[in-house]
Chain A
Amino acid sequence: MMASSYNAKDEDGHHPGSVSSGGPGAVKSKKPDNTAFKQQRLPAWQPILTAGTVLPAFFMIGLIFIPIGIGLLVTSNNIKEFEVDYTGVDMSSPCFNCAQNYSWNSTSGCTCSVPFTLDQPFESNVFMYYGLSNFYQNHRRYVKSRDDSQLNGDKSSLLNPSKECEPYRTSDKKPIAPCGAIANSLFNDTLELFYNHPNGSRIAINLVKTGIAWWTDKHVKFRNPGGINNNLSVVFQDTSKPVNWHKAVYELDPSDPDNNGFINEDFIVWMRTAALPTFRKLYRIIQKKKDNMTPTLPPGNYSLDVTYNYPVRSFDGRKRMILSTISWMGGKNPFLGIAYITVGSVCFFLGVVLLIIHHKYGNRNNNADIPN
C-alpha cells in the first residue's frame, strides 16, 4: 500500500516543458547495486536444531539442573521457619478477647500473649515477619492510593496531596500526611518476643527495627519534608494524621530521628504493596549472638506479646508471626528446588527417550539406505 502510493507521484508529474522522460520507469534504469544486503546474500549463520545438538543439551541441562535443584532443596529445608497465628479466631486462642472486643477508639490497646515452643535452635540472624491473609494490598484502588512525591518530601505535595489519595486525602480540612489508603492502613500491632528460660525467668529478646526496608527506599525514595530537620512536628504541623492512626507520622519512632516520619522503616515496608493477598512483611531482625557459641534462638518456650491494634476479622483475615532464618536464596521455599529437580529430570528423561527413538529410526533408515 505504501509503495503504490509512492509510485503514484511518478505518474502525476507530467509537466509540460519537461523533456519527455520516457515513462515512469526511466528513473529506475540503473542496474541494482550488487551488495550482499540488497541481494539478500548477507553472510549468515544457519544453525540447525538437530537431535545431534539437542541431545547433548538435554543431558547437559539434566546434569546441571538436578544438582542445583538438590542444592536448592537442601538449602530450603535447612532454613528454620516457625509460624504462629495470633488472630484469635478460636475461643481457646489467647487473643480471642482482643479480637472480639476490638474497637477503633480504644487508645490503650488490648494486649495478649501467645506462648509457643521452638523445637530446634535458630542459628545466625533470625528474621521476624508478620503475615496477613486475605488482605488485598494489591487491589487497584489500594495500590494507587498513595502520593510518592509527598513521601519523597515534596513540600507542595505535603500540603496538597494527590487526588489518588481519595478518600484518605484530607481530614478535618487538613491534608493527611501520609495520605492514601496504604498509609492509612499501616500495620500497627506491636509484637514482642520473650524467651521463657527453663529457670523461670522471662528474657526479652532484642528486636532490631532497622535494616528491614530496601536501602534505596529508605535513603532515596522516602524523605522527610524539610530535609534533615529534627523537629518533625513543626514540619507536619499543618497536616493531619491518617484517620486510622493512633499517633502522627512524626511520632512513629520518636527515639530515633533516622527512623521517624516518612523514613520509618516499618512504614516503608508497609508501603511496598504485596503481590498477593496472603503475604508477609519483615518486622524485626534478631541479630545473632556475638559469641557464636549459642544459637540466636535456642530451643525452648517463648511467648509472643501482642499489642492487638489491627482488626482483620471484618474481612476474614488472619495475622501471623513468622520467625525464619535466611539463606542466600532468601526465605524457605521448596518450590525452586523442586522445579529444578523436575526440569532437570524431565530433560534427562527426554534425552534418553530421544536417544532411543534416534537409534530406532537410525537403524530403520540405514536398512532402507542399503537397497538404494
Chain B
Amino acid sequence: MLRRRLNRLCGGDENRVDSRTIYVGHRPCPDTEAFIPSKFCDNRIVSSKYTVWNFLPKNLFEQFRRIANFYFLIIFLVQVIVDTPTSPVTSGLPLFFVITVTAIKQGYEDCLRHKADNEVNKYLVTVLEDDRSVKKESEKIKVGDVVEVVEDETFPCDLILLESSREDGTCFVTTASLDGESNHKTHYTVQDTEKDLQALTATIECEQPQPDLYKFVGRMHIYKAEQEPAVRSLGPENLLLKGATLKNTKKIYGVAVYTGMETKMALNYQGKSQKRSAVEKSINAFLLVYLCILISKAVVCTTLKYVWQSKEGQDEPWYNQKTQKEKDTNMYLKMFTDFLSFMVLFNFIIPVSMYVTVEMQKFLGSFFITWDKDFFDSEIEEGALVNTSDLNEELGQVEYVFTDKTGTLTQNNMEFIECCIDGFQYKHRDTQSEVDGFTMTDGVMNKLHQKAGQEKEELFLRALCLCHTVQVKEPGSKEALTDQVDGIDGILPQLEEERGFIASSPDEIALVKGAMKYGFTFLGLESKSMKIKNRENNIEEYKLLHVLNFDPVRRRMSVIVQTKSGETLLFCKGADSSIFPRVKPEEVDRIRMHVERNATEGYRTLCVAFKQLSAEEYAMADKGLSDARLALQDREEKLIAVYNQVETGMSLIGATAVEDRLQEEAAETMEALQGAGMKVWVLTGDKMETAKSTCYACRLFQRGTELLELTVRTLEDERLKRQEKLYELLQEYHRKAVQDAPPVKAGVTRSWSANQDYGFIIDGATLSLLMNPPLEADASQYKSLFLQICQNCTAVLCCRMAPLQKAQIVKMVKNSKGSPITLSIGDGANDVSMILEAHVGIGIKGKEGRQAVRNSDYAIPKLKHLKKLLLAHGHLYYVRIAHLVQYFFYKNLCFILPQFLYQFFCGCSQQPLYDAAYLTMYNICFTSMPILAYSLLEQHIDIEILLDNAALYREIANNAMLRWRPFLYWTVLGIFQGLLFFFGVRFLFSNPALQDNGQVFGNWSYGTIVFTVLVFTVTLKLALDTRHWTWINHFVIWGSLAFYVFFSFFWGGIIWPFLKQQRLYFVFANMLSSVSAWLVIIILILLSLLPEILLVVLRKPRGPHSRQKKPSQSNVGGNQSSQSSARPLLMRTFSDESNPVI
C-alpha cells in the first residue's frame, strides 16, 4: 500500500530511470549540464491512513468492503426502504455498534500513528545551508541537503556519510530499530570528502530507492578545481539508514539521498499479508449453508404466501383491508419486496454479533499467551509476543512443523571444542592452562607426529584471529573508542577474558574465543588495521585490505591482510564442501577424516585455508574488487566472480569444530510434537552430518528409524546419470515407505502408527534438481513422489537449504493434498521466508537479531515453549473458538426457526413472533456474554493434562470440531429445539385461556413464552458444555438469565413514551402469573436438553476407550484400579478421559 502511495507522491512527474543524481549541498557542478534540481519527495513520513477530513468516508468504505458488514448494510437498507416486519433499528443498532467500535479503534490507532509521524516529522535537525547551520524541521529536509547528526540521535533520512568527528572517518551505528541487531556497525566516510564540506562539490549517482536494507549501489563524483573529477564507489557501508542511531561518534555530516517515504525504512514498513485461519474458512462455509437456508426459507414463505392468498377471501378479508398504496403496487414488485421482507425477518440467522464475538475472543484470548509466565524467560527478560491474534486457533491444528536447526533446535551458543591443524587434533581441556594449553587426544593419525609444527599452529591461530568480521564491544557506550584502544596494553588478562565480541554469526565469536584460549587474542580493528596479541604477548598488526564477505551461496569468507613485513596473505574459512575443491587435494585427505568425525558428533565444522598473494596477484585482485564494487549494475554477480577467482589455489591449514548445544528440552519438545501427531521437518542450512546428529539428539530419528537418503552422495552412481538415479531412488523409497506400509485407516490419517519408522533426508542440491528437473514434465511426478514419501516418514531432514528453498518446501507441503496446516519456527533472518510462508510463523527471540520475531505471528523466547503454545494454548483456543462458532449458528437457528414456523400460522404475513426488543437484544445482551466467557475461559481438559498427554492433540486434528458432521449435529440440535419450542407452545395455545381467572393470552405472550424457553435453553446448553466453571462463568451465565428476566420486567413495566406500540406491556409479568406457562417452560427446557444429556452419557463409554488406553495405563496407575471396582463404569470412563491423573 505504501508503495502505491509512494508512486502517487513521488513518481508522478518523473519518469523512472535507473539512477538518480544528487547534488551535494545543492551546489551545481562544473562539467555537468545545467543544474536541474530534480524533484524528489519531501522527508515527511506518512504512516497514518486517515486525515481528519477523509476519516469518515474512507473508514466507512474500508469497513463496508468486508463482506459481512456489507451484507448487514444491505439488510439494513432493505429495512429502511421496504416495508419490513422489523424496524430498521433491530439490525441497524448492532451494525452501528460494530462499525462504531471498529471505527473508534482504528481512529485511535491512526491517531497514535499521526502522533508518531508528527514527532518524527517535526523533529528539529541541523542542516548546513550556505555555510551556516540552520535548524529545520525534519520533514523539510530535501534530497541533497547536508545534515548534521550528533551522538545518540537517529538519522532523519537516508544519508551518505561525508564527514565524521572520528579521526578514521568511521562512525558507529546501531540498527536495532530496523532489523533488531543491536551490535554496533561501522560505516565509513567516502574517501577524500571529509576535508572541507563547504567547499565540496560533488554529485552522487545512485540507484532508485529499493527496500533491501543491505544493498546500496552508488557512485560519487568529486569535483575539485583544476582536476579530473574523482570517482568513488558507494556501498551500504557508506549509507546511514533512517531509523538507525548514531553511537560512539560525536557528530557526523551526511548528505540526504533518500527522503521520506523513499527511505529504506519506509519502504520496508509494510503490513504483513493477512493470514486466514482454517476456522475462518469453516465459518465462511457454514455461512454459505446458512445463507442457503435463509434464502430457501424466504422463498418458501413467499411462495406459500401467494398460495395462501390465492384462496378466496384470504388475501383481503373484510376485517383486514389493504391500503390504497398496497393495492396499487405491481404484483411482481410486491412479490420481490415480500421476499426481501422475509429475508429481513429471518436474517438474524446470520448474526452480526458472531463477528464481533469472534474478533473479541481472538483479541482478548491472545492476551493469555502474553500473560503466560511459563513463556517468560528470565535470561532475556521477555515473555511471549503475539503479533497477530487471528491465528490463535490455528495453533491447535498444526500438522507439519518446520523447524530451523541453528538457534532453534540448538542454542546457537557456540563453543569451540577442538581444532585440527594439519591433520593433528587439538582438544582444549582446561581453559585456565597457560600458553601451552594444547593437549592432544589420542588419534590414529597422531601416532607418528606428536604435534603439527609450531609454525603451522601459529599460522592457523592467526587465521582464526584475522579471518572474521567480529567487533570488540566497547565497555561503556559514552567512552570514546580511542581512549580504550590506547589503554589496551594495560588490560589484565582476566579483563580480556570478559571482553565482549559482537558478530553477525556466533560461530565467529566462538572461533575468536577459541583462538584466545590458545593464546592469540584479537584486540580490535582500528582504522583498517587489525591488532592481535600473540602468545608472547606481543601486539601484531595487520593491515586489512579486503574482506570478502560471507554469503550463503559461497559458504565461505576471506580476508586479505598485509603483514608488517609487507607480505599479502589471504585467509579463508568456510564449509568443507566449499573449501575442499579450492585447495590442494593431497591436503584434503589429512583433514577430511577429522571433519567428518566431528560432523557426526554433532559439531559444526569449518575449514581454514590460506594463500600467500604475490604483489601481482594482489594488484589484480585489488583491481578486480574495486572495479566490481564500483559497478552500478550486477555488482553482486561481479563481486562473486572476483571472489571465486581470488579464492583459488589455497592451502588448507586446518579445521575447527564448534559445538552448538541443544536447546533446553529440545528433545522432549520434539517428542511431544511427534506424539501429538505432528510431523517435524528440520530445514537447515547446515551440513547433513551435523544436522543428522542433531536430529538423533532431538530424538527425531530413533535408533530403529530407517533413513532414506536423497543427497548428492547417494545420487553418485557410475552407471546412471544423476537424474535417472534420482528417479530410481524416489521409486525405491516410495515402494518402501508408501506402498509397503500397512494401509492406514481413514480415521487415523497419521502414519506414525506404522510399524517401521522412516526418516527422510534430502539436501538442497537434490531438492533443486527435484523441483526443477531438466524435463518439465517430470516435475509434478517427482514432487508427488517426494511428498508421498515424506508424508509417510516420521521426520524429514532437509539440509543445505538456502532460505528460499525452505520457503519452497513449506509452500509445497502447504499446497499438497488436504492442504495441511503448517507451522514454521525459526530465529534468524534466514527463516523469515519460511515463517512468512507457513500458516503459522513462530519466531524465537534468539541471538540472531529480531527479524524472525518481527515477521512472525507469535514469538516465544525458547523452543521448549512451543510445546505449551501448541498443546495447551492451541488446543484450548481451537476448542473454544470451534465451540463458539458452532454455538452461534446453533443458537440463531433455534432462535429463528420458531419465527419461520410461525409464518405458517399467520398467513405468511411476515409477522414476527418476538418483539423487536427481543430480536435486537437476543444476540447482543441475552446470549452473547456466556459464550464469550466460555470461549475465553474454557478448559475442557486441564492444561497440565494436555501437556502431559500429547496424544490429546490428535483428537482435534483436521479441524475435527468444525467438520460437517459436528456442524450437522449442531444444526439438527438447533432444528430439534426450534421445533420443540414452537410446537410445545403451539399445543399449549390450543386453549389460550392460561390464567386461573380465565383471561386469555395473545400473540405477544406466545412469542414471549417461546423466547423465554429459548433464552434459558440456549444458556443452559452452554452451561452443560462448560467443563470449567470459574466464578466468571457463574456470574455471566446466571447473570445473563437474571438480566433477561429483569429486562423483560422492565421493558414490559412501563408505557414507553415515543413508542407507537406497547406490545409487551405486562406480557412477561402476566406470563409468570400463569402456572401453565411455568410448567410448559420447564418441560420444554428439560426436553430440549434431554437428548444432549443422553448423548453425553451414552457417547462416552465407547469413544475415548480405545484412545485413552495407553495414557490412562501409564499415568493413572494403581490409583485408578482401586477406584475402578468401586465406581460404576459409565462414570469412570468419562471421568478418566477428562481427568487421567487424579
Which residues of chain A come closer than 8 Å to B1024, judged between CB atoms? 49
Q: A42-B937, A49-B1134 are in contact. Are A212 and B1055 (CB under 8 A)?
A: no
What chain B residues lie within 8 Å of A34 (beta carbons)? 373
B939 and A365 form a contact (CB under 8 A): no
Q: What 1/0 flags go to A139-169 for Cβ under 8 Å of B?
A: 1111111111100100000000010101110
Inter-chain contact B156/A16, CB cutoff 8 Å: yes
Closest A residue by C-beta to B388: A4
| B1061, A148: Cβ atoms closer than 8 Å | yes
On whether the beta carbons of B1032 and A42 are closer than 8 Å, the reply is yes
Chain A CB within 8 A of B229 CB: no
Interface residue? B622 (CB, 8 A): no
Segment among A115-123, A250-258, A300-308, A321-329 that sits at the interface with chain B: A321-329
B1029 touching A340, Cβ below 8 Å: no
Select which of A32, A166, A332 is within 8 A of B991 by beta carbon: A332
Q: Which of the residues B125, B383, B1093 comes within 8 Å of A49, measured between beta carbons?
A: B1093
Pair B1062/A24 contact, Cβ less than 8 Å: no
Alpha-carbon distance A50/B1135, docked complex (angstroms): 8
Counting CB contacts under 8 A, is B1131 at the interface? yes
Contact B116 A13 (CB under 8 A): yes
- On whether the beta carbons of A32 and B383 are closer than 8 Å, the reply is yes
CA distance A140 to B484 in the complex (A): 91
**CB atoms of B1006 and A275 under 8 A apart:** yes
* B153 contacts partner chain A, Cβ-Cβ < 8 Å: yes
State whether B389 touches A3 (Cβ < 8 A): yes
Cα distance A9–B119 when bound, in Å?
A: 13
CA distance A302 to B836 in the complex (A): 89
Majority SS of interface residues in chain B? mixed
Q: Of A40, A327, A361, which contacts B939 at CB under 8 A?
A: A40
Q: A23-B180, A46-B1027 are in contact. Are A335 and B992 (CB under 8 A)?
A: no
Q: How far is the CB of B573 from chain A (nearest CB, A)?
A: 31
Do A9 and B177 touch (CB < 8 A)? no
B382 A4 Cβ-Cβ under 8 A: no
Q: Which of B1022-1067 contact A (CB under 8 A)?
A: 1024, 1027-1033, 1055, 1059-1062, 1065-1066
B1054 — nearest CB in chain A belongs to which residue? A220
Cβ-defined partner of A221 (8 Å) among B177, B937, B1055: B1055
Of A166, A282, A311, A332, the residue contacting B318 (CB under 8 A) is A311
Least Cβ–Cβ distance between A179 and chain B, in angstroms: 12
Residues of chain B contacted by A273 (CB below 8 angstroms): 1002-1004
Mask, A15-58, CB within 8 Å of B = 1, is 11111111111001111111000111011111111111110000
- Closest chain A residue to B106, Cβ basis: A5
**Complexed CA–CA distance, A346 and B1086 (Å):** 12
A326-351 Cβ-contact flags toward B at 8 Å (1 or 0): 11111111011001100100110010
**Which residues of chain B are near A12, meaning CB under 8 Å?**
47, 112-113, 116-117, 269
Residues in B whose Cβ lies below 8 Å from that of A162: 1060
Is B386 an interface residue, CB under 8 A from the partner? Answer: yes
CA–CA, A49 and B987, complex, Å: 32
Q: How many residues of A contact B (CB 8 A)?
A: 129
The verdict on A7 contacting chain B, using a C-beta distance below 8 Å, is yes
Q: Is B984 an interface residue (CB 8 A)?
A: yes
Chain B residues whose C-beta falls within 8 Å of the C-beta of A329 in the assembled complex: 994, 996, 1075-1076, 1079
The contact of B321 among A19, A24, A181, A280, by CB within 8 Å, is A181
B residues within 8 A CB of A298? none
Evaluate contact between A143 and B911: CB separation under 8 angstroms: yes
A residues 215-271 in Cβ contact with B at 8 Å: 216-217, 220-221, 244, 269
Q: Across the interface, which residues of B come within 8 angstroms of A114, CB to CB?
A: none
Q: Which of B412-420, B613-621, B1120-1128 contacts A (4 or more CB under 8 A)?
A: B1120-1128
Q: Is the CB of B998 within 8 A of A20?
A: no
Please state if B1130 and A275 are interface contacts (CB–CB under 8 Å).
Answer: no
Closest-CB distance, B982 to chain A (whole angstroms): 11
- Determine whether the beta carbon of B381 is less than 8 Å from that of A29: yes
Contacts of B363 in A (CB 8 A): 1-3
Taking a contact as CB atoms closer than 8 A, the residue among A45, A68, A166, A326 that contacts B323 in the complex is A166
A366 in contact (CB, < 8 A): yes
A358 CB within 8 Å of chain B = yes
Kindly state whether residue B330 has any CB partner on chain A within 8 Å.
no
Beta-carbon contact of B1062 and A272 below 8 Å:
no
Kindly state whether residue A201 has any CB partner on chain B within 8 Å. no
Give the interface residue-count category, chain B.
35 or more
- Whether A276 is near chain B, meaning CB under 8 Å from some CB there, is yes
Chain A residues, CB < 8 A from B321: 167-168, 181
Q: Pick the contact of B373 from A31, A45, A277 — CB < 8 Å?
A: A31
Closest Cβ–Cβ distance, residue B148 to chain A (whole Å)? 12
| Min distance, Cβ A152 to any Cβ of chain B, angstroms | 6
Q: Looking at the assembled complex, report how far the CB atom of B359 sits from the nearest CB atom of chain A, in whole angstroms.
A: 6
**Once the chains bind, are B319 and A20 in contact (CB under 8 Å)?**
no
Identify which of B245, B376, B1055 contacts A31 (C-beta below 8 A).
B376
Q: Are B314 and A315 closer than 8 Å at their CB atoms?
A: yes
Minimum distance in angstroms from B1063 CB to a CB of chain A: 8
Whether B852 sits at the interface, judged by CB under 8 Å, is: no
Q: Given A280-B991, A329-B1075, are A9 and B318 neighbors across the interface (CB < 8 Å)?
A: no
- Distance, CA A13 to CA B274, complexed state (A): 22
> What are the residues of chain A within 8 A of B300 when measuring CB–CB?
none
Q: Are A23 and B1003 in contact (CB under 8 A)?
A: no
Given contacts A3-B389, A13-B119, A140-B911, contact A50 B998 (CB under 8 A): no
Closest B residue to A41 by beta carbon equals B943
Query: Do B993 and A49 touch across chains, with their CB atoms under 8 A apart?
Result: no
Does A96 lie at the interface of the complex (its beta carbon under 8 Å from any beta carbon of B)?
Answer: no
Question: What residues of A have a CB within 8 angstroms of the CB of B806 in the complex?
Answer: none
* Interface check A299, CB cutoff 8 A: no
Q: Which of B6-14, B364-372, B396-404, B744-752 contacts A (4 or more CB under 8 A)?
A: B364-372
Inter-chain CA distance A19–B125, complex, in Å, is 15
CB of A280 within 8 A of CB of B911, answer: no
Contacts of A361 in B (CB 8 A): 1101, 1129-1130
Task: Give the residues in chain A near B1076, CB-CB below 8 Å.
Answer: 329-330, 333, 336
Residues of B within 8 A of A13 (CB): 116, 119-120
A54 to B1100, CA, bound (A): 13
Cα-based distance from A65 to B1000 in the complex (angstroms): 26
Taking a contact as CB atoms closer than 8 A, the residue among B243, B370, B906, B990 that contacts A138 in the complex is B906
Q: How far is the CB of A207 from chain B (nearest CB, A)?
A: 13
- Cα separation A13 to B243 with both chains bound (whole Å): 10
- Find chain A residues with CB under 8 A from B1004 CB: 273
Q: Smallest CB–CB gap between B977 and chain A, Å?
A: 15
> Which residue from chain B places its CB closest to the CB of A143 in the assembled complex?
B911
Chain A's closest residue to B998 (CB) is: A127
Chain B residues in 8 Å Cβ range of A145: 320
Contact (A141, B995) CB under 8 Å given A12-B117, A19-B152, A336-B1080: no
Residues from chain A with Cβ under 8 Å of B1028 in the complex: 44, 46
**Within the assembled complex, what's the spacing in Å between the Cα atoms of A184 and B320?**
9
Kindly state the separation between the CA atoms of A212 and B993 in the bound complex, as whole angstroms: 11
Q: How far is the CA of A19 from the CA of B153 in the complex (A)?
A: 7
Q: What's the Cα separation between A293 and B850 when bound, in Å?
A: 97
User: In the docked arrangement, what's the CA distance between A46 and B939, Å?
Assistant: 9
Question: B104 contacts which chain A residues (CB < 8 A)?
Answer: none
Bound form: Cα–Cα A40–B368 in Å: 7
Closest approach, in angstroms, between the C-beta of A308 and any C-beta of chain B? 15
User: With an 8 A cutoff between CB atoms, is A194 at the interface?
Assistant: no
Shortest C-beta distance, B777 to chain A (Å), equals: 42
Question: Top 7 A-B pairs ranked by shortest CB distance?
Answer: A51-B1130, A185-B319, A331-B993, A50-B1131, A275-B1006, A52-B1131, A38-B371
18 A–B contacts, CB within 8 A, in A order: A5-B109, A6-B109, A16-B123, A17-B123, A20-B177, A23-B182, A31-B383, A39-B372, A40-B943, A44-B1028, A46-B1029, A51-B1129, A138-B909, A185-B320, A220-B1065, A314-B318, A329-B1076, A335-B987
Query: Hey, which bits of chain A sit against chain B, CB under 8 A?
Result: 1-9, 11-25, 28-34, 38-40, 42-54, 61, 65, 68, 72, 125, 127, 129, 135-149, 152, 162, 164, 166-168, 181, 184-185, 211-214, 216-217, 220-221, 244, 269, 272-277, 279-282, 285, 311, 314-316, 324, 326-333, 335-336, 339-340, 343, 346-347, 350, 354, 357-358, 361-362, 365-366, 369, 372
